[in-house]
Amino acid sequence: MSLLAPVEGWYAKKVARDEKMWMLISFVLCLMLFVWMLLWHVYGEQNPSNVTYRTTPVEFSRLHEAYIKKNMIGIDNGVPVVKPEPKSDVFFMGEMWRWSPALILQKGEWYNLHISSKDLMHGFSLQPVNMNFQVYPGYDYVLHFKPTEAGEYKVLCNEFCGIGHHTMIGKIVVIENDEDLKKYGYDFPEKSAVPAPGTDTAPATATEVAPASAEADIKAGELVYTLKGCVACHKTDGTAQLAPAWNGLFGKKEKVKENGKEIEVTVDEAYIRESIVTPQQKVTVGYEQTVMPVFALNDEEIRQVTAFVKSLQNK
């Protein structure tokens, strides 16, 4: 309420000419902006508008995993690589702390990219074109788009999402023709890079000849490692930022903390199982900052992952 009450009957006074003029100008301006808003959507060069659907992290993870299992053509540093068919639906997911899969797209073709998060809020930042948006769990962002320039693009996470945030870098490669695949090291022999249980092609990881079923277990274990996202923290090349590397881990003595007390354990089948089922029971000294999520693996998958870790013993 103002200090002085307006003069009685002010609203009955005629509107002055200049006042009317300003009202007209602002009304026309509003109309112009409204029309331009629609035109800008079509002709403007800005972040694309997407359609969003509700989903759940569990449901999206399920679709994402099934999609990758069906379509992956190879593995790049533990990240599945997919070359989707033009005009198809592509599932791309952020989780602590990786984007998957790595995508190979054809220049000039349309794709329906479904993007979501498995755990918390991540930021999808496509570089170097600098396209940004937030990715929440529970929402499926569908981006209908056509890559117009060939090259390698990085998907950086631009929302701080925890201790491994800076390592969360995904890859999208846009090619003009299949020849380009060599340039990126993605010229996998047709489908054979996918570890298929039961096949008897010699794996690159095994250092000694093992019975066929053990071979299949190792391959299946590597697939679990790739699909479930263990690779986001556990590397197999000896680098260890967020969690112990898996190569050379089996049989090793590790210092761990249990209920605040430091003890020494030997990494064996039982210890690996315990670490998967109850990750916080024993935490490796030096990695107390990383909280390992509980991955719902069944007994068979645990056996396979263990076989995979074992196979990396001498690497």
**Candidates 102-110, 161-169, 198-206, 227-235 — which segment interacts with ligand CUA by CB under 6 A?**
161-169
Report the nearest approach of ligand CUA to the CB of residue 315 (Å): 29
Dmax (CA) for the chain in angstroms is 100
Relative to beta strand 122-127, strand 131-135 is antiparallel
Write the single-letter amino acid at 120.
L
How far, in Å, are 41, 61, 72, 92, 284 from residue 118 at the CA level?
30, 7, 20, 10, 25
Report the nearest approach of ligand CUA to the CB of residue 62 (Å): 21
Q: How far apart are CA 76 and CA 98, in angstroms?
A: 13
Report the nearest approach of ligand CUA to the CB of residue 302 (Å): 27
Binding letters toward ligand CUA, positions 70-109, x by CB under 6 A? ------------------------x--x------------
Q: How far apart are CA 246 and CA 238, in angstroms?
A: 7
Which one of 118, 122, 171, 282 is in contact with ligand CUA (CB under 6 A)?
Answer: 122
**Candidates 83-91, 158-166, 218-226, 302-310 — which segment interacts with ligand CUA by CB under 6 A?**
158-166
Chain centre to alpha carbon of residue 42: 29
Nearer to ligand CUA, 161 or 172 (CB): 161
DSSP 3-state of 125: strand
Q: Is 165 in the site for ligand CUA (CB under 6 A)?
A: yes
Crossing angle of helices 269-277 and 299-311, in 10° steps, is 130
> Cis (ω within 30 of 0) for the bond into 57?
no
Q: Is 126 in the site for ligand CUA (CB under 6 A)?
A: no
Q: Is 157 in the site for ligand CUA (CB under 6 A)?
A: yes
**Candidates 24-32, 125-133, 157-165, 278-286 — which segment interacts with ligand CUA by CB under 6 A?**
157-165
Residues in touch with ligand CUA (CB under 6 A): 94, 97, 122, 157, 159-161, 165, 168
